[in-house]
Each structure stands twice: as structure tokens, then as C-alpha cells.
């Protein structure tokens, strides 16, 4: 129990480091007046969006908290509220610093060069990264101590994960719909109808689009990985408590997470680049450094807490998780990297027209799922066989997610440099400044691809760990949870269909919301004809709020499906069917999530490969074909795909929360 | 045992009916010289393709037969050879009559009107339909009697299903690659490069394309459903033999199949249409008539063989299967019908460009998977709970497939009327003849959509029945086959990835093979410049054989994956992991199969909806966008999607065949 002080200490260090980085970023200069003005628009838009989103989130969370309080008692409700608040705070501060770091990155590219610009952008992203892990560890430890510090109380901490899941649902799914609706809507009216370039300040939707980048890859990804992070730790704690009924088994996951935080901070300090260097090298390397250090730190921690044999087993499980995370990231990188075969093949086939862009991309997308799925399958079996059985599976998830701090840092760097490049363009800065910004942005795209794969892979492994915890909590025996039980098979089939429904609904929500924005932009052009002649300023805020409102409304249906499906199947068909359903959903969710994330980035980079002057370059028919692929891929990679991460985790965590009620009251026995 | 005479009798009736239909079709006139000439080209091409394909099939089958003989004994090898031969004979005769019925349909449209033309085309298709069911039932009964007529020998009959699977692999996957490679290849050079219309006789690839229709929807679908048909019967027989060790339980499935044959013959006789009527009404209705009659016949048969209680239970299971089949067909129809919302929505969104054609189509495709998956899940649980447990699940599959005769008849009608419309076009027949041919063709498209859904749904249910049989044969207990066993989870993950790999490889094989054809067509245009001026005849045969060779070569990799994966997982990780793998593959195979089949037809019909003059009609930008969707959908619906039917059945049947060896010799215990 006393050793938990160390865990608290590490959590505090993470937060202090994040605060220090906030200071480091904010003390930088913001550049010319024009740059400041553009960045203020983005900041205002982002703040407006965040306020609107979190108002809805907190309302919904309050209702759920009351329901939990009535059905499952005050502790679970308190944990829930704390989880939701932690994720909200992390997301808000992360967004705040991101929209402040973008213009400072541009300015540093102008006055300080590549090296300094990278540092500012990465520091900006790292604020979110270390807020996420710091608040995650602190919240869990605080609840554990507050509830009495006994293994038996761990089941109430699940509420913390549920709270995180609720916020993630809004931030990731609502944010995903928002970001692509704004993107497509602004493009279709601006580029196609009005004939003005991308990112042109005359387009009333342009700020909504810029805000979208931050909403998706910053707040959305942060909430997503916060959920995975706490979910994996909590599932391992539950298994430790239920299976071994001992303190050390229960709290070990927190310490592994702590090791990961220290390793991530050290890794973050290594991120530097020489002038003229490639920024994606230190960024990619930082994850590998963090993983290596975490592995090294894990062995002494686990053996001192569980004795040599069991400690070594846990070490193997954590190692399996860490390696799997790296493999998944590398696979995503391979399939979406401009210099590799898959992207080039899609670009080459685009010469035969858009149909072959789509088909070749799809086949690459399907191919890209195999290695990650196999890696997770093998990690699961290694963690079980060589680790301490099912506890090992959960510890593999903890291992994989222990480097969340550095992964989120590198990911949240993406929207900052994306915006930085946009600001450089809009402010009409010099060629060499824009070149630096573009190189930073290109590295940001690589990081976004990698972390997208990592997010879905870790979501699947976390959901699997939560599923294992759910099975232990329900106490259903193995012979009931068999493939010979038709309820289990029925559950698997139902579960397998859910990611498909979810995907369909999210894609349609994006196009519907895009049309709402299109109407608004057309209205502004019509009512303020001076906009196109630079005489009137468009109402950017109106566009932001209109898409935000619509996206959040569109979230209702998928949100309800995610929340109600496990309850329906659980209370009607019983806990075995629900177990089957979760397994089915995890499997197809992983498959479709990987497919959509990778195929979208493959198309995106095939387009960029052509834009570099290959195969006819910009404006050629090949380029047009590639643009169609890119547009198709956008909602897949940024809206529907990532929303599956949330779906599978939210459903498993709800099942875990309601497991005690389900086992008592289900209908068909 | 004596009652089996009735089963033989029904099998013989089916074959006699098929032979009678051959006579009915062949006695019709073939029309003008030009029509005869065109049809001769198609016939020659089809024969050349079939010879080439079946030569490879029989070589491979001979090798497998030898392996089976050595490893598992002569009976299994004999059953295997008989299964492969039966499927080959059915496919060959079905193709032969299809390429003879096409021109006679055109001629009847000219001299006899819609009613007579429909009759000829449907009779042509019904030859394949009743060959499939007749040979299926006869083969199984013959082997049962020849091997001694005891329930214990049923496990050797599995070889028959394996033989059918091998042929289906080539006919469906090889044929699927062939048909779309020819389609895309001929289109790209003909329409795009040479600027000549579709189906123009100057295009050297045109016959390869026409042949492709027959290869895919006639031989391919026939072999596919033959495999499902015998697979479902055999799995039910195995369960009857293993679980109840009684003759009546073992042979009942054959009698239900027999009832379905009689019902299908009666239903086939009802297919008539008035002049000016819509041919798809009687065609759709015939399946419902056959299903109703089968249900009515089942009750007396099952109760007389198993007593009232068990007989009634079997009746419920069969009914569940029949209803599920109808529901799946109706869902496919809804999502792909020109007059329904999904197709219209895709067409409307195409106004915003091809990206939204693709995205809207994809979301419709994902939505379309839900009802069929739920229907199968519910049918499975109803059949288990209200039917005689796992035997009931297999009997649901038998019930669903009992109407195979009429389903294949209506499906194989499709390529006949498709060719008939092509011949009418190429022979320059009068408007009213072409109108009749087009209306027949339109009904054929509806039937193809419906049977595509039916094929994947029945494949999944058959594979599920085979999986249940596999589990019984291995004797692995429920507590080993649990979701708590990491080997099972690992298996599910691996299995879930296989349909994705398969899809990726098949799509790439199509585009690769298309490029080979493109080269050949370009060569012919270059070396025989007279072709385009109608002065020289292109070498149609060369195009057919070059695509065929390439398609069959491309089949090697997916074929090996399908055969080797279950053996690898089984012999390395053991029978539980293999069980999990099969479950994972069935679930994602069903999901991706339904998605691809439906989305392809949705795009196809959205294009046709626009071509009818809606939303700007042919030549508009909206039409161009829809054409891109159609091209993307082609290999999905006709190559990759249907090949998943084969994958899941082939893997389960191989597992069943090798189950005794796997349980003895696997590596990780």
C-alpha cells in the first residue's frame, strides 16, 4: 500500500512535465500579425467546438452517473464522474495547447529553423500525451486508495474506465464525424463551386476544417488512448484481484504503467533533429526507445513484487505487448508510406482510372490487416502460455499501452504541424519556411498513420483484456462459454455485425453533415457577396457551430447502439451470449478498423506521391483518380475506422460494469 | 435401408427432368445465320474454357485423391473422386445447355414473344439446377449403400463433399477471376482505347467476356451450391450417426433433400409469364412456392421417421432454415433493387461525384449485412433450442438448401438471358425483340442478386453445420472449446483474417489477369490492322485461353491458403484452435461476402437506374460517377465475394476430413 506513493509520484511527475511543456510552448513568439490573426480564428473555432462538445458530454455523463448511482451504488458513480472529468480535462488542455503551438511552430520555422520548430510542435503534442497518462494513473490510484485499498474494491474502479469511454465516444465518434464533414463540405463548395484554393480565408468553412484536424487527431485520439490506457490497467487489476486476491497482483499494472511514463519522458527528451534532417526518424525512434526502457524497467519491478517466477512471466507478457505494438505500428507505416510498394502500386494503378485506385487500395487495405491480427493473436497466446495465464493477457495490453505517453505525443504533434503548414500557406510566408513546415507536416502524417494502427490494435487488445475480466467477474464457466453453445455462436454473429452497422452509420453521418455545411457556405456567399472579393469577412464561427451541432446530433444513433446492444444481448440471451458478442465485435472491429485506417492513409499518400511530380503529377488524370481515392478514404480513416476502437471498448466496459446485474437477471436461462 | 430406394428414385427423377429439359431446349430453332454464328463463337469459347479448367481440376483432384488414399484409406478417396466427378459433370452439362439456350432464347423472343422466350431460358437454367440436386442426392445415397449402409460409415462420405469443394474452388474462384478479368480487360481496350461499343464483334476480347458470364453465374454458382448442398446433407448425416447412432437419424437429411427436389420441380413448372408481364415475379415466386411445399412435405417425412416429438423438432429446424433463406434473398433484393431506396440513394449521391458513389455504396453494403447475419444467428439458435440440438442446426442448413434446385435454375437463367440480350444487340435485331431480351435480362439480374445472397448465407450455414460436425468428430469437449481457452481466441483471430487475405489476393488477381488480356488485345489490333475495319476476324479463342490460363495460375495462391491454413493451425495448435479458426473465418467470411456481393449489385443497379434516364441519364457526370462504382463493384460481387463462400466451406470440410489425424498428431498439447 505504501508503495503506491511511488505511483502517485510518477503520475505527478507526468503532470508537472506537461505543465512545464505548456510553459515552454507559450513563452515562444507568435510571429507576424497575419499569422496571429489566422491562428486566433482557429483557436476561437476550436474553443467554440470544444465547449459545445463538452457541454453535451457532461450532460450525458451526468445522466449516466445518476443511473449508475441508483443501480450500482455511489462508488461506481464517483469513479465514473472522475473518469469522465479526467478525460475532459486532458482533452481540453491538449486542445488548448495545440491551437497555441501551431502558430508558434510556424514562427519558429521562420526564425529558428527546423530543429526549433520541431521542438515546439512536439512539446505541444507532448502536453496531451503526458496529461493523458498522468491523469490516468493518478485517477486510478486515487480511487483505489479512497475506496479502502483492498483488492476487493477494484470492481468499482471500472466506473473510471466507463467514464473515459463515454467521453471517448463523443470526442472520437462525434469529433470524427465533425472533422470529415467540415473537410468535405468546405472542399466541395470552396474548391469545386467557388473555384478558390484549399485553405483560402474567403471560404467560410475553412476554419471549421482547420479546427477539425485538432478535434480528430488531438482531442479524439487523446480520449481514445486515454480509454485504452485506463481500460487495460483496470482489467489487469480486476484479474489480479479476482484470481489471486492479493495486493501486489492487483496494483502491479499501475507500476508497469508508471515505468512506461518514466520511459516515455526520457524518450520525449531524445526527440531532436538536425537542420536538413528527417523529423520522422526521431519521432519513430522515440517509441522504440520508450518501449525498450519500459521493458528494462519492468523486470525488476515485476520480480520484486511477485517473486522471480511470476515476475518473469509478467515480464514476458509485457514484452509481448510492447513488441506487438511496435509491429502493428511498423505494418501501418509500411502500407501507408510513400516510399513503399503498396502506396506506389495504388498510384501506378491509378493510371488506369479511379476504379483501379479504389480496387487496388482496397486489396492493400485488406492485406494490411493480416500481420497486426496475427501479431495480436500470437501475443495473446504467448502472454497466456508464458505469462501467468489470463492475467498475462491483460498485462500484455498494459505493456502495449505503457508507452501511451510517447505515442499520443507523436500523434498530437500531427495536427499542430498540419495547422502550422496551413498558417504558413495562408500567411504567404517565404518558400523556405513553407518547406520546413511541409517537412514537419509530412512527418506528422507518418506519425498519424502509425498511431492509427496502434490505436485500433491496442483497442482490440484492451477490449480482449476487458472481455477476460468480464468473464471472470460473471463467473461463467468455460463449458458454458463454448463454441458448442448456440448462444455463444449467436452472440458471435450478432457481435460481428455491429462494427459493420457502426461503419455504415458513421459514413452516412459524415456525408449528411457535410451537406448541412455546404448549405451554410452557399448561404453566406449568397447573402454576403463581398466575401469572394475580400470585402467582407465570412462568419467562420457559424460554420463551426453548425457542423458541430449536426455532428453531435448524428452521434446519437451509433452511441445508443454501442450502449444498448450489450445490455440487450446480456439481459435477454444471458452472459454467455454477451461474451460471444464481445468476441465477435472485437474480431470484426479490429479487421474493419485496421482496413479502414490503413486504406485511407494509403490512398492519401498515393495522392501525395503523385503530387510530388510522379506519374504525371498534379492535375493529371492519374492525380484526379488518386484524389477520388483520397476522398473515399477520408471518412474511413478519420471517422468510421477510429470509431470502431470506441465501439469495442465501450461495449466491453459496459458489459463489465453491468456484469453483476446481468448474471442475476437475464431472461433466457 | 429399403426406404433409400425412394431417395434414389427422386434423384433419378431430377436427372430425368434435367434430360427432358435438355431435349426441350435443343429442339428449339436458333434463328438467323448471324445469330447462330455469334452463338457458335460463345459456345466454342466456353467449351475451350471448360476443357482447360476441368483438365486442371481433374489433375489436382487426382493428386489429392492419391494423398487421401494413402493417409485416410480407399473409401474416402473413392467418395472424393465421385464428388469431384459429379460436380464436373453437372457444371459441364449445365454450361453446355446454357450456351445452347442463349441463342434459342433470342430466337424465341423474335418469333414467339416474351412468354416462350422466358420458358426456353428458364428451362436452360433448370438443367443445371436439377443436375446439381439429382447428382448430389444420388452420389451420397450410392456411397452410403456401397459402403455398407451403416451410420458408422458416414464419415467416409465426407470425401464426396471434399471432392465437390475442390471443383467449386476452381469453378468459383478461378471462374470468378476469369470472368471479371475478361470483362475489365475487354472494356478497357475496346471502349476506352479503340472507341468501339461494348459487345462489338471487332473486339478480340468480346467472346472471352461473353463466356465469362456463363463461367461465373452458371458453372461457378452451380459448383458453389452443389458444394453447399452436399455439405449440409453430409454434416447432418454425420451428426445423426455420431449423436444418435441410428439409421433413421442418419438418412433423414437425404429425404428432406428429396422433398425439396419434388417441391422444386413443381415450382419450376409454375414459371410462366404473360406477354407484357414482369418475368421476375414468377421467378421470385417459384422459390417461395418450393420453400412452402418443402415445409409441407417435411412434417410427415420427419415424424414418420423419428416419431412425433423429434420429427416435429426437425420440422421446426428445417422451417427455420427455409425462412432464413427467403429472408436473406429478400434482403439482397431490397438493397440491390432499382426501385428501392438504397440504389436510389447511391444514384442521387453520385451527383456529387464518384467519391460519394463509393462511400454511399459502401455504407449501404455494410448495412445490408445485418439482417442476413441476424437471421442466421436466430435460425441457429431456434434450430438448436426448438430442434434436436446441434442436429437441428445442421437440419436448418439442409432445409435452407433443400430448394437448391429452383435457386440454381433461376440463377443460371441469368447468364442465358444476358447472352441472349447480347446476341440480339450484336445481330442487330429489331427494337421489340431487344426490348423483350432486355426485360428478361433485367429479371436475370434480380435473380443473380438474390441467389448471390442465398449462396453466401447458405455457405455460412453449411460451414456452421460442418463445424458442428467437426467438433463432434474430434470429440473435443465444450470446456476446451471455450472463449477462455487462448488457443480458441487465437484461432478466431487467425480465421477472421483469412477472408480478408483471400479478398485482397482475388482482387489483385483480377486486375493482373485483365492486364494480360489487354496486352493480347493490343497485340491483335497491332498485328491485324484489318480487324477494326471489319476486314479481318479477331482470334477470339486466343483471348479466351490466355485469360483462362492466367486466371487458373492466379488461383494457386488462394487455393493453397484455403487448403493449408486449416492443416497448419490444426496440426500445430490443435483441434480447439482449428475450431476457433473456422468460427472466425465463417463470421468474417459471411460479413465480407454479403458486403461485397450486395455492394457490387447496388452499384451496378445504380448505374442502370441512371441509364434509364434518371438524374441526367447516360453520358452525364452522374452516370460517369456511377460507372466507376460499377467497375469497382464488379470484381467484388463476381470474384472476391463469391470466393469467400468457397473458402469457408473448403476449410471446414478439410478440417472434417483430417479431423481424425489432427486429434492424434497435433504439436502443442
The per-residue pLDDT for range B334-393, each reduced to its tens digit, is 999 888 999 999 999 999 889 999 999 999 999 999 999 999 999 999 999 888 888 999
pLDDT at B18: 97
pTM of the model: 0.95
Average pLDDT over residues B639-662: 95
Is the pLDDT score of A669 beyond 80? no
Confidence bin at B74 (pLDDT 50/70/90): very high
Interface test with B, best of A183, A393, A486 (most B CBs within 10 A): A486
Find the CB nearest A496 among B384, B490, B588. B588
Average pLDDT over residues B434-442: 90
Q: Distances in Å between the alpha carbon of B121 and those of B52, B103, B602? A: 26, 9, 25
A492 touches chain B (CB under 8 A): yes
Q: For residue B401, which of B254, B658, B225, B553 has the smallest C-alpha distance?
A: B225
A374 touches chain B (CB under 8 A): yes
The size of the A-B interface in CB pairs under 8 A is 216
φ, ψ for residue A482 (rounded to 5)? -95, 160
pLDDT at B308: 95
A188 touches chain B (CB under 8 A): yes
- A198-202, A419-423, B78-82: which has the minimum mean pLDDT? A198-202
Q: Give the separation between CA B195 and CA A567, rounded to whole angstroms.
A: 59
Is the pLDDT score of A534 beyond 80? yes
Q: Which of residues 324-363 of B touch A (CB under 8 A)?
A: 349, 352-356, 358-360, 362-363
Is the pLDDT score of B329 beyond 70? yes
Average pLDDT over residues A212-236: 91
Residues of chain B found within 8 Å of residue A484, distances taken between Cβ atoms: 390, 468, 471, 478, 481
Q: Cell match 426441350: residue?
A: B24
Q: Distances in Å between the alpha carbon of B34 and those of B31, B541, B556? A: 8, 19, 39
The answer to whether the Cβ–Cβ distance between B588 and A590 falls below 8 Å is: no
Confidence bin at B88 (pLDDT 50/70/90): very high
Q: Give the separation between CA A486 and CA A619, rounded to whole angstroms.
A: 56
Q: Give the separation between CA B621 and CA A624, rounded to whole angstroms.
A: 14
Residues of chain A found within 8 Å of residue B378, distances taken between Cβ atoms: 490
Confidence bin at A2 (pLDDT 50/70/90): confident
Residue of chain B with shortest Cα separation from A595: B500
Q: How many CA atoms lie within 13 A of B277 on its CB side?
A: 15
Model ipTM value: 0.94
Estimate to the nearest angstrom the gap between the alpha carbon of A477 and the chain centroid. 34
By three-state DSSP, how is residue A620 classified? Answer: coil
Is the pLDDT score of A302 beyond 70? yes
CA angle B551, B552, B555 (to 5 degrees): 90
φ, ψ for residue B482 (rounded to 5)? -95, 160
Residue of chain B with shortest Cα separation from A481: B482
Residue of chain B with shortest Cα separation from A372: B497
A367 touches chain B (CB under 8 A): yes
Q: Could you tell me the residue ranges of all domains in chain B?
A: 4-665
Is the pLDDT score of A532 beyond 90? no
The answer to whether the Cβ–Cβ distance between B355 and A628 falls below 8 Å is: yes
Estimate to the nearest angstrom the gap between the alpha carbon of A530 and the chain centroid. 40
By the 8 A CB rule, do A484 and B478 touch? yes
CA angle B282, B288, B289 (to 5 degrees): 80
Q: For residue A586, which of A471, A462, A478, A489 has the smallest C-alpha distance?
A: A462
Q: For residue B297, which of B250, B253, B247, B262 has the smallest C-alpha distance?
A: B262
A72 touches chain B (CB under 8 A): no
B649 touches chain A (CB under 8 A): no
Average pLDDT over residues A42-62: 89
Q: Give the separation between CA A161 and CA A230, rounded to whole angstroms.
A: 6
By the 8 A CB rule, do B487 and A390 touch? no
By three-state DSSP, how is residue A331 classified? Answer: helix
Average pLDDT over residues B400-424: 93
Per the structure block, which three cell numbers stand in for B313?
423438432
The answer to whether the Cβ–Cβ distance between B503 and A366 falls below 8 Å is: yes
What would the pLDDT profile of B111-133 be if each residue is shown by its tens digit?
Answer: 989 999 999 999 999 999 999 99
- A226-235, A659-668, B58-67, B323-332: which has the minimum mean pLDDT? A659-668
Is the pLDDT score of B1 beyond 70? no
Find the CB nearest B471 among A358, A484, A488. A484
Average pLDDT over residues B276-280: 88
Estimate to the nearest angstrom the gap between the alpha carbon of A229 and the chain centroid. 11
Average pLDDT over residues A91-109: 93
What would the pLDDT profile of A122-158 be if each residue is shown by its tens digit?
Answer: 999 999 999 999 999 999 999 999 999 888 899 899 9
Residues of chain B found within 8 Å of residue A503, distances taken between Cβ atoms: 362-363, 366
DSSP structural state of residue B28: S
Average pLDDT, chain A: 92
DSSP structural state of residue A31: -
CB within 8 A of B20, min separation 6: which ones? none
A485 burial via Cβ count (<10 Å: 0-12, 13-18, 19+): buried
Minimal CA separation from B306 to chain A, in Å: 23
Helices (H), B73-174: 74-111, 114-146, 154-168
Give residue B475's region: left, alpha or beta (phi > 0; psi -120 to 50).
Answer: left
What would the pLDDT profile of A254-267 be if each residue is shown by its tens digit?
Answer: 999 999 999 999 99
Minimal CA separation from A70 to chain B, in Å: 32
Q: Give the separation between CA B224 and CA B457, rounded to whole angstroms.
A: 12
Give me the DSSP letters along A359-375: HHHHHHHHHTTHHHHHH
The answer to whether the Cβ–Cβ distance between B496 and A370 falls below 8 Å is: no
Residue of chain B with shortest Cα separation from A468: B484
pLDDT at B198: 76
pLDDT at A1: 60
Amino acid at each position: 500500500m505504501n508503495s503506491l506513493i511511488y505511483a502517485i509520484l510518477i503520475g505527478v511527475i507526468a503532470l508537472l512535465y506537461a505543465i512545464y511543456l505548456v510553459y515552454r510552448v507559450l513563452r515562444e513568439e507568435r510571429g507576424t500579425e497575419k499569422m496571429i490573426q489566422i491562428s486566433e480564428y482557429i483557436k476561437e473555432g476550436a474553443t467554440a467546438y470544444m465547449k459545445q462538445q463538452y457541454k453535451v458530454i457532461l450532460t450525458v455523463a451526468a445522466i449516466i452517473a445518476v443511473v449508475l448511482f441508483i443501480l450500482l451504488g455511489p462508488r461506481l458513480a464517483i469513479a465514473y464522474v472522475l473518469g469522465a472529468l479526467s478525460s475532459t480535462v486532458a482533452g481540453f488542455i491538449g486542445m488548448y495547447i495545440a491551437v497555441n503551438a501551431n502558430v508558434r511552430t510556424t514562427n519558429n520555422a521562420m526564425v529558428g529553423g527546423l530543429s526549433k520548430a520541431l521542438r515546439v510542435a512536439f512539446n505541444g503534442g507532448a502536453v496531451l500525451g503526458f496529461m493523458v497518462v498522468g491523469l490516468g494513473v493518478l485517477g486510478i490510484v486515487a480511487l483505489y486508495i479512497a475506496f479502502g485499498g483492498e483488492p476487493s474494491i477494484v470492481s468499482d474502479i471500472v466506473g473510471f474506465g466507463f467514464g473515459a469511454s463515454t467521453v471517448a465516444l463523443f470526442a472520437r465518434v462525434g469529433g470524427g464525424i465533425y472533422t470529415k464533414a467540415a473537410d468535405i463540405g468546405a472542399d466541395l463548395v470552396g474548391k469545386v463551386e467557388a473555384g478558390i484554393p484549399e485553405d483560402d480565408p474567403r471560404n467560410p468553412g475553412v476554419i471549421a476544417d482547420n479546427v477539425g484536424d485538432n478535434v480528430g487527431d488531438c482531442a479524439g485520439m487523446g480520449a481514445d488512448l486515454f480509454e485504452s490506457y485506463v481500460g487495460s490497467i483496470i482489467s489487469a487489476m480486476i484479474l489480479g484481484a479476482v484470481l489471486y486476491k492479493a495486493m501486489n497482483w492487483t496494483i502491479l499494472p499501475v507500476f508497469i504503467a508508471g515505468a512506461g511514463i518514466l520511459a516515455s519522458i526520457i524518450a520525449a527528451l531524445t526527440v531532436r533533429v538536425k537542420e536538413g534532417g528527417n523529423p520522422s526518424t526521431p519521432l519513430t525512434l522515440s517509441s522504440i526507445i520508450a518501449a525498450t526502457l519500459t521493458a528494462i524497467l519492468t523486470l525488476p519491478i515485476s520480480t520484486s513484487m511477485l517473486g522471480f517466477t511470476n515476475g518473469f512471466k509478467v515480464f514476458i507478457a509485457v514484452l509481448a505487448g510492447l513488441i506487438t505494438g511496435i509491429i502493428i505500428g511498423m505494418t501501418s507505416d509500411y502500407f501507408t508510406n510513400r516510399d513503399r510498394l503498396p502506396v506506389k502500386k495504388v498510384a501506378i494503378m491509378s493510371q488506369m482510372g479511379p476504379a483501379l485506385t479504389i480496387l487496388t487500395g482496397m486489396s492493400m487495405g485488406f492485406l494490411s490487416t493480416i500481420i497486426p491480427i496475427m501479431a495480436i493473436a500470437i501475443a495473446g497466446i504467448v502472454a497466456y502460455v508464458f505469462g501467468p495465464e489470463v492475467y498475462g493477457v491483460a498485462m500484455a495490453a498494459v505493456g502495449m499501452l505503457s508507452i501511451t505517453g510517447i505515442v499520443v505525443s507523436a500523434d498530437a504533434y500531427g495536427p499542430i504541424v498540419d495547422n502550422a503548414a496551413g498558417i504558413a500557406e495562408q500567411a504567404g510566408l517565404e518558400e523556405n519556411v513553407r518547406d520546413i513546415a511541409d517537412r514537419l507536416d509530412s512527418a506528422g502524417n507518418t506519425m498519424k498513420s502509425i498511431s492509427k494502427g496502434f490505436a485500433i490494435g491496442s483497442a482490440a487488445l484492451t477490449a480482449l483484456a476487458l472481455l477476460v475480466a468480464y468473464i471472470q467477474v460473471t463467473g461463467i464457466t468455460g463449458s458454458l462459454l463454448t463454441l458448442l453453445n448456440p448462444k455463444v455462436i449467436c452472440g458471435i454473429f450478432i457481435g460481428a455485425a455491429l462494427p459493420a452497422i457502426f461503419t455504415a452509420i458513421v459514413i452516412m453521418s459524415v456525408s449528411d453533415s457535410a451537406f448541412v455545411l455546404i448549405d451554410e457556405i452557399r448561404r453566406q456567399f449568397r447573402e454576403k457577396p463581398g466575401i469572394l472579393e475580400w470585402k467582407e469577412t465570412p462568419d467562420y464561427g457559424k460554420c463551426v457551430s453548425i457542423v458541430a451541432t449536426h455532428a453531435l446530433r448524428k452521434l446519437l444513433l451509433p452511441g445508443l447502439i454501442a450502449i444498448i446492444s450489450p445490455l440487450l444481448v446480456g439481459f435477454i440471451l444471458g452472459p454467455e451470449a454477451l461474451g460471444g458478442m464481445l468476441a465477435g465485435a472485437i474480431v470484426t472491429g479490429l479487421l474493419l478498423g485496421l482496413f479502414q485506417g490503413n486504406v485511407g492513409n494509403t490512398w492519401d499518400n498515393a495522392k501525395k506521391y503523385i503530387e510530388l511530380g510522379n506519374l504525371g503529377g498534379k492535375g493529371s488524370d492519374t492525380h484526379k483518380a488518386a484524389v477520388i481515392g483520397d476522398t473515399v478514404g477520408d471518412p474511413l480513416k478519420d471517422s468510421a475506422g477510429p470509431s470502431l476502437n470506441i465501439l469495442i471498448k465501450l461495449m466491453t466496459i459496459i458489459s463489465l460494469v453491468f456484469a453483476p446485474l446481468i448474471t442475476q437477471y437475464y431472461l433466457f436461462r
